[in-house]
Amino acid sequence: MRIAMIGTGYVGLVSGACFSDFGHQVVCVDKDADKIAALRDGVMPIYEPGLEGLVEHNVGGGRLSFTTDLAEAVDGVDAVFIAVGTPSRRGDGHADLSYVYAAAREIATALTGPAVVVTKSTVPVGTGDEVERLIRETAPDAEVSVASNPEFLREGAAIADFKHPDRIVVGVEDDHARDVLEAIYRPLNLNKAPLLFTTRRTAEVIKYAANAFLATKITFINEMADLCEEVGADVQSVSRGIGLDNRIGPKFLHAGPGYGGSCFPKDTLALLKTAEDAQVPLRIVESVVKVNDARKRAMGRKVVKAMNGDVRGKTVALLGLTFKPNTDDMRDSPAISIVQALQDEGAKIRAYDPEGTEQAKLVLENVDFCDDPYTAADGADALVIVTEWDQFRALDLKRVTDILNQPVLVDLRNIYSADEANQAGLRYTGIGQPKKAV
Ligand code: UDX
């Protein structure tokens, strides 16, 4: 199949590279000429494990190319995927659809033959209808079908997620779109990936419902963690105890400093706006958003408490700044609220992140960025693990104790146990652990 991918952000680039790896002919388009020039030189705009090699392999094989020329890219294709950004609209939390609609108009002008236009960007229910209306308005004679194919990729595991999806959701309104998308995803038949066909509106709702449910699951266990701390229970055992129930499942039950990233915060807000417009209050999702926002800042207070209530003039070393490991993405990372809360209390912040430093510098002020975990810890009054990068999982805790000014370890991801930290001479605070173990 011949495919054009509009937008070389996270979703577009990963999807385009993976489609080409299946053997499809893919042209990725972006308005940003510098980005396209860099991609042509093999330089990735984001950090994602395995992406660079995948792009290189498929560019080398003549299946993947990059251009700023949308008209050239869509000429003669079977499908055009719209994978441009849908950020939160400034001020009201609605998804900003201006890039999606601009792309739809441009595609309409450029199409030369019959094609399926597929929205991959995360878009509120009804956007597919509007994309179709815009295309028909711009090019009344164009033979187009408009479909919805939301993505469920996790940053840091995006390529594996794309190639081994739990399911592929496709919303179509006609048989042609169904046939084309079936052909595009045929290579995944081998992996027995379920291909779920539904209507366009339903597909759009599935995407938001999935993210809202996952955000709810995380927030649920985070509140349980708070309860565990007060009543002398251990949240990790609670997660295991409930997660082994097949109806609940063990995933997304890891208590932590609150969810962040490019999807959950933005998509939950956008879903609430859709619900408000439809006059159907989603009270559970409303609570999830509030609880998660409050939690991120509360993590700063947790650190202050672990340092006996006073951090003025003291140095706090943070390990991990990105919203999760294996990405350089700082969007809505809990680290941002934690740094702010600690600075408001007068603390000095040092930090180390394996991949996120450049992005972190754009959003964090007055932070002393270090080159490795031990330099960050050296002479600090507390060490705080914010993101569970693998390289933090086997720190030499005795060495950490020796170089810290005060032996305080706050582990917001529960990657250590209180026992092993105590044995190394550290005062340990985790998430959702009984107070006596601290
Ligand atoms: C998410 C969805 O998983 C993906 O399907 C969707 O397409 C985009 O949004 P992503 O944002 O990359 O993917 O990260 P994810 O691994 O889902 O984690 C999101 C946040 O939740 C992170 O801040 C993470 O630390 C947090 N989290 C996740 C927890 O705190 N506990 C968990 O058990 C799982």
State if residue 14 touches ligand 1 by the CB under 6 angstroms criterion. Answer: no
State if residue 252 touches ligand 1 by the CB under 6 angstroms criterion. Answer: yes
How many whole angstroms from 259 Cα to the centroid of ligand 1? 7
Closest CA to 257 of 388, 426, 390: 388
- The answer to whether 251 and 261 have CB atoms below 8 angstroms apart is no
Tell me what pLDDT residue 436 has. 60
How many whole angstroms from 209 Cα to the centroid of ligand 1? 14
State if residue 260 touches ligand 1 by the CB under 6 angstroms criterion. Answer: yes
Q: Which residue type, as a one-letter code, is found at position 77? A: V
- Interval 2-40: pLDDT, tens: 999 999 999 999 999 999 999 999 999 999 999 999 999
How far is C-alpha 329 from the chain's CA centre? 8
Percentage, residues of the chain above pLDDT 90: 94
State if residue 165 touches ligand 1 by the CB under 6 angstroms criterion. Answer: no
How many whole angstroms from 154 Cα to the centroid of ligand 1? 7
Distance of alpha carbon 14 from alpha carbon 156, whole angstroms: 11
Domain ranges of the chain: 2-198, 223-437
Mean pLDDT across 348-360: 97
Distance of alpha carbon 236 from alpha carbon 186, whole angstroms: 40
- Interval 239-260: pLDDT, tens: 999 999 999 999 999 999 999 9
Q: What are the Cα distances from residue 142, in Å, to 10, 79, 113, 134, 233?
A: 29, 13, 7, 12, 63
State if residue 155 touches ligand 1 by the CB under 6 angstroms criterion. Answer: yes
Confidence of residue 93 (pLDDT cuts 50, 70, 90): confident
Percentage, residues of the chain above pLDDT 70: 99
Distance of alpha carbon 72 from alpha carbon 53, whole angstroms: 26
State if residue 254 touches ligand 1 by the CB under 6 angstroms criterion. Answer: yes
Confidence of residue 307 (pLDDT cuts 50, 70, 90): very high
pLDDT of residue 190 exceeding 90 = no
CATH fold group of domain 223-437: Rossmann fold (3.40.50)
Mean pLDDT across 321-328: 95
Confidence of residue 438 (pLDDT cuts 50, 70, 90): very low
- pTM, two decimals, is 0.94
Q: What length does the chain have?
A: 438
Active-site residue flag, 18: no
Nearest CA to ligand 1 atom 17: 154
Mean pLDDT across 26-55: 96
pLDDT of residue 195 exceeding 70 = yes
- The answer to whether 192 and 163 have CB atoms below 8 angstroms apart is no
Tell me what pLDDT residue 192 has. 83
State if residue 263 touches ligand 1 by the CB under 6 angstroms criterion. Answer: yes
State if residue 151 touches ligand 1 by the CB under 6 angstroms criterion. Answer: yes
Domains 2-198 and 223-437 share a fold: yes
Nearest CA to ligand 1 atom 7: 152
Pick the atom of ligand 1 nearest to 327's CA.
Answer: 12
CATH fold group of domain 2-198: Rossmann fold (3.40.50)
State phi, psi for 368 to the nearest 5 degrees. -90, 105
* Best residue for ligand 1 mutational test, from 48, 86, 154, 268 (most atoms within 8 Å of Cβ): 154
* Residue of 18, 28, 228, 263 marked catalytic: 263
The pair of three-digit structure tokens given for residue 264, joined into one six-digit string: 């959950």
Distance of alpha carbon 131 from alpha carbon 145, whole angstroms: 10
- Interval 112-165: pLDDT, tens: 999 999 999 999 999 999 999 999 999 999 999 999 999 999 989 999 999 999
Confidence of residue 88 (pLDDT cuts 50, 70, 90): confident
- Interval 268-293: pLDDT, tens: 999 999 999 999 999 999 999 999 99
Burial track 320-340 (b if 16+ CB lie within 10 A, e otherwise): bbbbbbbbbbbbbbbbbbbbb
Tell me what pLDDT residue 151 has. 95
How many whole angstroms from 87 Cα to the centroid of ligand 1? 17
Q: Which residue type, as a one-letter code, is found at position 169? A: V
Nearest CA to ligand 1 atom 26: 259
Tell me what pLDDT residue 437 has. 44
State if residue 377 touches ligand 1 by the CB under 6 angstroms criterion. Answer: no
Q: Which residues contact 175 (CB under 8 A, 6 or more apart)?
A: none
State if residue 153 touches ligand 1 by the CB under 6 angstroms criterion. Answer: yes
State if residue 213 touches ligand 1 by the CB under 6 angstroms criterion. Answer: no
Closest CA to 85 of 397, 331, 403, 252: 331
Tell me what pLDDT residue 260 has. 97
Residue of 378 and 193 predicted with greater confidence: 378
Closest CA to 121 of 171, 81, 163, 79: 81
Pick the atom of ligand 1 nearest to 257's CA.
Answer: 30
- Interval 222-234: pLDDT, tens: 999 999 999 999 9
How many whole angstroms from 360 Cα to the centroid of ligand 1? 19
Nearest CA to ligand 1 atom 32: 252
How many whole angstroms from 77 Cα to the centroid of ligand 1? 33
Q: Which residues contact 116 (CB under 8 A, 6 or more apart)?
A: 78, 79, 80, 144, 145, 146, 147, 176, 177, 180, 181
How much is the mean pLDDT over the chain? 96
Burial track 386-423 (b if 16+ CB lie within 10 A, e otherwise): bbbbeebeebebeebbebbebbbbbbbbbbbebeebbe
How many whole angstroms from 133 Cα to the centroid of ligand 1? 34
Nearest CA to ligand 1 atom 21: 259
How many whole angstroms from 434 Cα to the centroid of ligand 1? 26
State if residue 253 touches ligand 1 by the CB under 6 angstroms criterion. Answer: yes
* Best residue for ligand 1 mutational test, from 48, 169, 206, 218 (most atoms within 8 Å of Cβ): 218
pLDDT of residue 435 exceeding 80 = no
